[in-house]
A and B are shown apart, each in its own frame.
Chain A
Amino acid sequence: MNSLFWSRAHGGATHFPIALILGATLFDLLAFFSPDSAKRSEFSTIGYWLVILGALGAFGAVFTGLALSKWTIGGTGLILRHHLFVWPAFAAIVGAATWRLVVGREPSRRGFAIYLCAMSVACALIGGAGFFGGELLLGQ
């Protein structure tokens, strides 16, 4: 399979986990700040499944990205900057999803706050990775 195939596969595979993780963070924030306990539980359940699906999707995104870059884990220039955001984002997503999976849908307030901080950092890292990934493809 040539680089064009992997370019398309990576483009297709990355946007699902990006959307799922951003969605998970949004719904978990809603759950955290919602005063209504019924809604809090519903938002939390949505966030729970979104982060798990997002973490599973992240493996596909990482695999296609590595295949596209011919298994380069660092590189130079824009691809290095892309990777400097990708690897911590990947670790943060897997870690957060694992914690959520183990703890369950309704963690303690304190644990949930720490989790949300980690997810917010992951979202920022995803933003950086996406920016430099876009620059790689579409930059002048």
Chain B
Amino acid sequence: MKAISERRAFLIAAIAAGAALLATLGLATAIRPEQFTPSPATDVPVADAGQGRHLFLLNCAHCHGDDALGDEGPNLHNLHKSDARIHQVVIAGIKGEMPSFGKKLHDSDVSDLTAYLRTLH
């Protein structure tokens, strides 16, 4: 190993770091448009905030209030949680605090709900 000088090793390390970063970001950029950018010509489902509001009034307003400003449950305006976390909480609930909606709502319903929650400021 000592055959390679540390200065040369630094150069190799810099190239490896740059290559790893470029490969990762390049891969992500290459995959993203193909799989996740909905095209008007396809049938990719898009979250519907209007339907989300309907679902909210049916399932959530009871505790969070009709305006989602909080009642028994907390205020849901300006949420800083990720979509994944919202999905997790809605589906699994919070023990002792919030019921699970996993058997009642599908993934697409939670996406609609999340889209509605994102409109609340």
Contact = CB atoms under 8 A, between A and B. Distances in A.
A99 B12 contact: yes
Given A68-B84, A73-B25, A99 B10 contact: yes
Contacts of B16: 94-95, 98
B36 A104 contact: no
Query: Is the interface on chain B under 10, 10 to 19, 20 to 34, or 35 or more residues?
Result: 20 to 34
**Which secondary structure dominates chain B's binding surface?**
helix
Contacts, number: 100
Of B18, B32, B82, most buried by chain A (CB within 10 Å of CB) is B82
Contact of B13 (A66, A77, A102): A102
Interface in A70-95: 70-73, 77-79, 87, 90-92, 94-95
Interface of B: 1-2, 4, 6, 8-10, 12-14, 16-18, 20-21, 24-25, 27-29, 31-32, 35-36, 80-85, 87-88, 91, 107
